[in-house]
Amino acid sequence: MSTSRVTVVEKIMDANDQLALSIRSQLDQAGVFGINIMASPGAGKTSVILATIKALLPNIRIGVIEGDTAPVTIDADKVIALGMPAVQINTGGDCHLDAVMMSQGLGQLDLTDIDMVIVENVGNLICPAAFNLGTHINVLISSIPEGDDKPYKYTNIYRGLDVLLINKIDLLPYIDFRMDYFKQGVELLNPGLVTFPVSATIGTGMEEWVTWLKTKIQEHKAKA
């Protein structure tokens, strides 16, 4: 029985990874840079995404795929209000997006009219880490109110990262958060990880993050 279960899981993950490779190829051919943004609920995914979009406009055109466990369009509506296309993906209760959902979302975007696609994954620190979406980088937003022990409790998601944003740093004076302890945990799992301390609400650190992202988009365009 256990062997059968392992086989089924391996087949599912292999199929997801194969589709993710196809998605990456699709993005590369279109010259579109893809980023997968993950976080726990309330960490500030939407706030960071909206602030990032505003900072990149009007020179960089962006499409957004919003993943949610319920059929609500609150976050997608906020992106559309900025003049950018957004697709809402209802996972039907699943705690993550997968490559199939990603492919369906991309199918609703005109890749010839965007430079970057931002995927807002479902708010969760476990499931999203296991599913490759075919994006070029995986980004985690961790926030000060969540506590400084998250790298020690949710190791898999930190290992698979390309970028870490530490959000809500304006709250550091009011919350018992040991930044050295937090960063030590991150470094053990992902040495040299690109990290940006930010506050999406007041703008602290956002310029550095956006500048880094612009460089990555331009480098990807040059390769296309």
pLDDT in tens, 45-75: 999 999 999 999 999 999 999 998 776 677 8
Rounded to an integer, what distance in angstroms lies between the CA atom of residue 150 and that of residue 157? 10
Position 223 scores a pLDDT of 85
Give the DSSP H/E element, type plus range, for residue 118: strand 116-120
CATH code of the domain in which 205 resides: 3.40.50.300
Task: Give CA–CA dist 78/21, Å, rounded.
Answer: 30
Within 10 A of 187 (CB to CB), how many other CB atoms are there? 14
pLDDT of residue 34: 98
pLDDT for res 11: 66
What are 44's two structure tokens?
């500030």
> What pLDDT, on a 0 to 100 scale, did the predictor assign at position 73?
73
Residue 1's pLDDT is 47
User: What total number of domains does the chain contain?
Assistant: 1
Reading the block at residue 21, the tokens are 């490779």
Residue 212: CA count within 13 A, CB half-sphere: 15
**DSSP element (H, E) containing 141:** strand 137-143
Residue given tokens 């997608």 in the structure block: 76
Predicted pLDDT of residue 93: 73
The answer to whether 117 and 139 have CB atoms below 8 angstroms apart is no
Residue 18 domain boundaries? 2-223
The residue ranges of the chain whose pLDDT is under 70 are 1-12, 71-72
